């Protein structure tokens, strides 16, 4: 059985074709193909402003936090789950150009029999802590509260989702579908020792966690039936060799690496907009679900060549070696160390972006370029082999 078949058998799709088909007839807002919905200014009634809305969450990462807590008793691991849900919304909105004065609400659904109040507190405290961190960097978010529901008949452990709203000038919108031949791409690293975070970040983000969990963790975890969907074939459940407490990289155990909170790029982007100007930024792509092929949701009639990718951090190499997942699929499921792509028109601007990013401790480099094509295509070159993805 191929790794792709395993991914589908676990109830997950990297492309989510059926979901995209289901939402085809929904109102796309004022602009199509953006990372969040943009609507007329209902909040202010101005023709010069627009309202933005995003909804996202931490996905199945909370299931791994649950396992780590069960194994170690360390409830603080859930602090990062709150940050994950926050950043998955925030950085999608940042791709459109929103940079300040966000309204944020969290939606936590739990099984009360398994998830005590101390875990809910850690999730909320982790969210508030990261909001304070971003505020210190000039990105202001108002935490409006949210909903915590006891829905044990629906949720076996806990799910952490969120929504975010912002208001900004319509003229400041950055349209993701502005990718055009002749542009170059600067990639920002998802991993490392960012200056506004407390510890090393593996770069995991909040995508591909179902695959990582079952490919890396051993059958020891099948005893936690609440983390397995009952219709999933036992042959693809916890097929790895590892425990979450296994130290696998320097002094970090596997659980700590997988649960590295998703880092926000907004402090870097805010500095970037102020320094080089929004008009120099043609498009920004948040490489979440879909990884290096994510841009295919937005690009049309171009070939995007990524021939100088940032180094793949340890965790993704480890997932690949342990699971024997093809590199073709790895680049479609995970961010592989590059979670943000900025599309621009000249190398002078690229050098400024790279310098600004590195000043925050986040590695960056030119990772590729855009050329014309009859259809949308992404080519990723890795270890002298090319992998192709099509819309």
- Per-residue pLDDT reduced to its tens digit, 69-79: 999 999 999 99
What's the confidence (pLDDT) of residue 3? 47
Q: In whole angstroms, give the CA distance from residue 78 to residue 120.
A: 8
Buried b (16+ CB within 10 A) or exposed e, 301-318: ebbbbbeebbebbbbbeb
| Under 8 Å between Cβ of 82 and 126 | yes
- The H or E element containing residue 256 is helix 254-258
Please report the pLDDT score of residue 33 as a whole number. Answer: 87
The DSSP output letter for 41 is -
User: How many angstroms separate the CA atoms of 37 and 51, rounded?
Assistant: 8
Could you give the C-alpha distances from 242 to 76, 145, 221, 239, in angstroms and in order? 22, 37, 10, 9
Angle, in degrees to the nearest 10, between helices 117-136 and 79-94: 40
pLDDT at 19: 56
Determine whether 82 is exposed, middle or buried from the number of CB atoms within 10 Å of its CB (0-12, 13-18, 19+). buried
Three-state secondary-structure class, residue 94? helix
Which stretches of the chain score pLDDT less than 70? Answer: 1-27
Report CA torsion sign: 214, 220, 224, 230.
Answer: positive
Q: What is the pLDDT of residue 23?
A: 56
**Annotated domain spans of the chain:** 3-390
Give residue 1's pLDDT: 45
The pLDDT score that the predictor gives to residue 225 is: 96
Distance CA 14, CA 332 (A): 7
- Chain segment 354-382, per-residue pLDDT in tens: 999 999 999 999 999 999 999 999 999 99
Q: Which CATH number fits domain 3-390: 3.40.50.450, 3.90.650.10, 3.20.20.70, 3.40.50.2020?
A: 3.90.650.10
To which residue do tokens 């590729």 refer?
368
């Amino acid at each position: 059985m191929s790794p792709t078949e395993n991914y589908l058998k676990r109830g997950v799709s990297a492309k989510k074709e059926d979901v995209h088909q289901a939402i085809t007839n929904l109102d796309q807002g004022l602009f199509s193909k953006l990372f969040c919905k943009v609507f007329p200014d209902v909040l202010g009634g101005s023709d010069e402003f627009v309202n933005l809305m995003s909804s996202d969450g931490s996905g199945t990462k909370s299931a791994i936090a649950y396992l780590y807590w069960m194994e170690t008793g360390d409830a603080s691991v859930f602090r990062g789950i709150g940050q994950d849900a926050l950043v998955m919304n925030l950085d999608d909105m940042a791709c459109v150009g929103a940079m300040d004065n966000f309204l944020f609400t969290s939606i936590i659904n739990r099984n009360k029999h398994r998830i005590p109040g101390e875990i809910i507190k850690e999730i909320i405290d982790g969210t508030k802590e990261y909001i304070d961190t971003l505020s210190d960097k000039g990105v202001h978010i108002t935490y409006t509260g949210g909903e915590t529901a006891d829905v044990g008949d629906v949720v076996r452990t806990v799910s952490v989702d969120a929504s975010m709203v912002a208001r900004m000038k319509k003229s400041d919108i950055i349209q993701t579908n502005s990718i055009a031949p002749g542009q170059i791409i600067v990639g920002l690293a998802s991993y490392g020792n960012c200056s506004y975070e407390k510890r090393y970040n593996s770069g995991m983000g909040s995508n591909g966690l179902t695959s990582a969990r079952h490919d890396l963790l051993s059958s020891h975890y099948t005893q936690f039936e609440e983390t397995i969907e009952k219709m999933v074939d036992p042959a693809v459940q916890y097929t790895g060799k590892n425990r979450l407490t296994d130290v696998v990289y320097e002094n970090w155990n596997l659980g700590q690496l997988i649960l590295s909170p998703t880092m926000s790029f907004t402090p870097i982007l805010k500095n970037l907009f102020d320094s080089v100007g929004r008009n120099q930024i043609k498009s920004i792509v948040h490489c979440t679900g879909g990884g290096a092929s994510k841009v295919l949701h937005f690009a049309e009639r171009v070939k995007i060549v990524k021939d100088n990718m940032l180094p793949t951090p340890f965790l993704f190499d480890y997932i690949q070696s342990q699971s024997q997942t093809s590199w073709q699929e790895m680049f479609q499921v995970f961010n592989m160390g590059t979670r943000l792509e900025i599309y621009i028109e000249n190398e002078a601007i690229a050098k400024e972006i790279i310098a600004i990013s590195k000043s925050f401790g986040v590695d960056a480099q030119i990772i590729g370029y855009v050329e014309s094509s009859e259809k949308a295509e992404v080519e990723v070159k890795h270890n002298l082999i090319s992998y192709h993805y099509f819309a």
